[in-house]
Amino acid sequence: MPIPKRPGVVYGRCPMAERIALFATAARGTEDLLADELKELGARRIRQDRGGVRFMATLDEALMVALWSRIAMRVLYPLGAFEARGAEGLYEAAASIPWEEHLTPEHTFAVDATLKDSEHSHSGFVALKVKDAIVDRMRDTQGARPDVNTRDPDIRVVAHLARETLSLSLDLCGEPLHRRGYRVRPTPAPLKETLAAAVLRAANYTGTEGLVDPMCGSGTLLIEAGLIARRRAPGLNRDFAVERWPEMGARARELLTDMRADARRNERKVDVPLLGFDKDPEALEAAIRNVRAARLSEEIQLAEGDATRMPPLPETGGLIVTNPPYGDRIGTGGQKGMKSFYFKLGESLRVPGWRVWVICGNPAFESAFHARPSAKRDLWNGPIACALLGYRPPDGGSARGDTETGSEAPLGAPRQPVDVAPVRPQHEGEEEG
């Protein structure tokens, strides 16, 4: 969805007017969706990678991504990748970065670390060695050291150690972007906000048709749909770490002031039904509170209901999208009971005029649902391998987003630009947090 800019405002006049290489992380299986979104937001030279997307952007373009991306989990400024063996190798690699160009003794910082196939067994140890190197280098070059603030740092350093390769980056956003601020009451196994938004994009949901989640849980899919329908920037009500960076913080705050004002002016009224049901009163109460926190109480209607006995839906049609239980919260009956539940779900959700998209983490779902999907993609819900399945309406209407072959067509992956450093901050651990 194109993001409108304020007439008469020229973005890009800032100390960082030249484009730099950035990396946006995403849930596995959603990289192509993020690449497509980044293109809409003005990013250049986009390249899909494992666990995210590389792109080039100026400061204002990067801020547009931070403010408007619904799928990205982090936006990282890679500083480099180094061979790092043992504790000494970690320290030496981190100490080689000119940290004095990125922070001052007056700024606080924190180090987040993730590991993959590493000789080290604890991410905290890696974070500690990187922290020691930063502190020592700053003391040697500046005569004083910055303080560590793990709760709310000015500068967040992200370290990823894959085998013996240490990648170091700065996080432009600070807190991960999936933390929109509206999840005031979660439920067991909640769906991440960014993954919910990716599912809606895969289903080609633009906010101009009705949407129903018959097992809404804490309401994440509904709220993300409401944000899309309202055309509200997902990062509108939060701050970003880059606003506190020494070199470009002042300009970032100035740009974001204009961008946030533009975003508020360009919100639209929602004139399509957004309906959520759940048979669990506690889940429904959580959804009500979260919808209220998202300021979407007028747009989203919630009611108690059983997904296997769907109430009549508006004849206008639209999208039914849901994340049914995978098998650990359905009660007794084992896999046989799950198949029976999925069969009943398949009968209930086949409503004329309504296409269906389902996130399924149980291999038994597809056959038990007794309908052939017109679109399918593999993705990960945290550590769980899932399939996202799309079904056409039973009356033969369009399924929006499906293809003639019945699967999602992958987007092209342009080659790595020669002037982009070959760093790989994959951060698979982000999906767990």
pLDDT at 94: 97
pLDDT at 272: 97
- 20-171, CATH topology level: VC0802-like (3.30.2130)
- The full set of domain ranges for the chain reads 20-171, 193-232+267-391
pLDDT at 328: 58
Buried b or exposed e, range 364-378, using 16+ CB within 10 angstroms: bbbebbeeebbbebe
391, exposed or middle or buried, with CB in 10 Å at 0-12, 13-18, 19+? buried
| HEC secondary structure over 281-305 | HHHHHHHHHHHHHCCCCCCEEEEEC
CB of 162 within 8 A of CB of 118? yes
pLDDT at 326: 87
pLDDT at 186: 80
**Distance (Å, rounded) from C-alpha 211 to C-alpha 224?**
11
Residue 112, beta-bridge partner list: 158
Within 10 Å of residue 2's Cβ, how many Cβ atoms?
7
pLDDT at 397: 63
pLDDT at 407: 34
**Distance (Å, rounded) from C-alpha 162 to C-alpha 229?**
40
Q: What angle do CA 341, 344, 347 make, to 5 degrees?
A: 150
CB of 224 within 8 A of CB of 201? no
pLDDT, averaged in runs of 10, over the chain (433 residues): 36 56 96 97 94 95 97 96 94 96 96 91 94 97 96 96 94 95 86 97 97 97 98 96 94 97 97 96 96 97 96 94 80 75 94 96 91 95 94 76 38 31 40 38
CB of 315 within 8 A of CB of 353? yes
pLDDT at 120: 87
- CA 361 to centroid of chain Cα atoms: 19
**Distance (Å, rounded) from C-alpha 124 to C-alpha 128?**
6
Q: Six-digit token pair at 327?
A: 């098998």
The reply to whether CATH 3.40.50.150 applies to domain 193-232+267-391 is yes
Q: What angle do CA 51, 126, 156 make, to 5 degrees?
A: 65
Q: Six-digit token pair at 348?
A: 């209930």
